[in-house]
């Protein structure tokens, strides 16, 4: 039976980044992404500093830089969303395009800044997701006082995403099994595009109905075990002094980078 393993980004390796407490990792990654997004436009040295920080953590994680660069392609759609600033930022036109569009220098600077910032931020998120198991991330979210209901929803989503994807795989396989050709000539297999679209629509509809029913069954199973709307968990283990030291150290570095950026380019 094939399963949807490809969805889980976690890669098990022995490394100091993997061993670091999930709470510290989550806090640091959040602070890192905040620093990147709050850095002013065009603060290139700040971006390089942040990238250096991300790269060193990636090297420490023992997964190889190539892995991160491949995954970071995920940032591309966000970059596309920033494409209009190329044309909408006021300034001297550098390159004229048809339809009255013109690329301005400040627009280019803004676009490159956004692209670089999102690329660096996505790398930090990938670092967190590939060195921390999902249950650990959930535990960290709870420890950081995210509303418990929200953590429960995220956890259930993660749990059943795999079940639903498996269901999709089985359904696709059943369709594949019946996609045959006759022995006689003169029949073009495959049907019309419209009919294939209808079939795909029907599959999506069945999947939705089944997921809805499954959610009812899951909820009943939760009620049967005493669920009352409140998610409870065991107390979290205390953080070690070394963890606090690392957290404090990196936070100070990030605040310093942010301050330099704001003073010099803000």
Partner 1 sequence: MSCVVEVEHISFSYPDGHPALRDVSLELSHGEKVALVGPNGAGKSTLLLHLNGILPRQSGRLAISGLDVSGKNLGRVRALVGLVFQSPDDQLFSPTVFDDVAFGPIYQGLAADEVRTRVEEALALVHMEEYAARVSHHLSVGEKKRIAIATVLSMKPAVLVLDEPTAGLDPRARRSLIELLRELPQTMIVATHDLPMVKELIPRTVVMDHGQIAADGPTASVLCDPVLLAEHGLEM
Residues engaged in binding partner 1 (CB under 8 A):
1-2, 167, 170-171, 173-183, 187-191, 195, 198-199, 202-203, 205-206, 209-210
Q: In the bound complex, what is the minimum distance in angstroms from residue 207's beta carbon to partner 1?
A: 8
Which CB, 27 or 171, lies closer to partner 1?
A: 171
| Helical segments of the chain, H only | 16-19, 22-38, 44-60, 65-71, 76-81, 85-88, 105-131, 134-143, 148-177, 193-224, 241-265
Least Å distance, CB 216 to partner 1, is 14
Question: Rounded to the nearest whole angstrom, what is the least distance from the CB of residue 189 to partner 1 in the complex?
Answer: 5
CB-nearer residue toward partner 1: 159 or 175: 175
Q: Which residues contact 141 (CB under 8 A, 6 or more apart)?
A: 26, 150, 151, 154
Residue 266 contacts residue 42 (beta carbons within 8 Å):
no
The torsion angles phi and psi of 48, rounded to 5 degrees, stand at -65, -40
Nearest CA to 204 out of 177, 164, 176 is that of 164
- As measured in angstroms, the least distance from the Cβ of 196 to partner 1 is 9
How far apart CA 68 and CA 59 sit, in angstroms, is: 10
- Closest CB to partner 1 among residues 135, 191: 191
Q: How far is the CB of 224 from partner 1 (least distance, A)?
A: 21
Nearer to partner 1, 79 or 203 (CB): 203
CB of 194 or CB of 226, closer to partner 1: 194
Check if the beta carbon of residue 7 is closer than 8 Å to that of residue 162. yes
Question: What phi-psi label fits residue 153: left (phi over 0), alpha (psi between -120 and 50 degrees) or beta?
Answer: alpha
């Amino acid at each position: 039976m094939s399963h949807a393993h490809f969805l889980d980004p976690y890669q098990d390796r022995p490394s100091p980044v993997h061993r670091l407490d999930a709470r510290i990792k989550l806090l640091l990654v959040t602070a890192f992404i905040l620093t990147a997004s709050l850095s002013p436009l065009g603060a290139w040295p700040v971006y390089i500093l942040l990238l250096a920080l991300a790269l060193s953590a990636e090297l420490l994680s023992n997964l190889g830089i190539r892995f991160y660069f491949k995954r970071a392609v995920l940032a591309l759609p966000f970059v596309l969303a920033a494409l209009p600033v190329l044309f909408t930022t006021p300034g001297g036109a550098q390159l004229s395009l048809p339809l009255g569009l013109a690329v301005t220098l400040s627009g280019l600077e803004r676009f490159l800044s956004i692209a670089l910032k999102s690329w660096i931020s996505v790398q930090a998120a990938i670092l967190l997701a590939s060195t921390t198991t999902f249950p650990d991330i959930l535990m960290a979210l709870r420890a950081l006082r995210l509303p418990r209901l929200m953590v429960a929803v995220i956890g259930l989503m993660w749990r059943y995403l795999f079940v639903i994807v498996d269901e999709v795989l089985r359904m696709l396989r059943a369709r594949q099994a019946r996609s045959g050709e006759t022995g006689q000539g003169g029949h073009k297999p495959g049907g019309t595009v419209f009919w294939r679209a209808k079939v795909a629509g029907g599959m999506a509809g069945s999947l939705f109905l089944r997921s809805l029913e499954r959610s009812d069954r899951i909820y009943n199973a939760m009620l049967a075990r005493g669920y009352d709307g409140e998610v409870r968990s065991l107390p979290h283990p205390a953080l070690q002094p070394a963890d606090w030291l690392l957290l404090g150290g990196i936070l100070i570095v990030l605040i310093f980078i942010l301050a330099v950026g704001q003073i010099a380019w803000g």
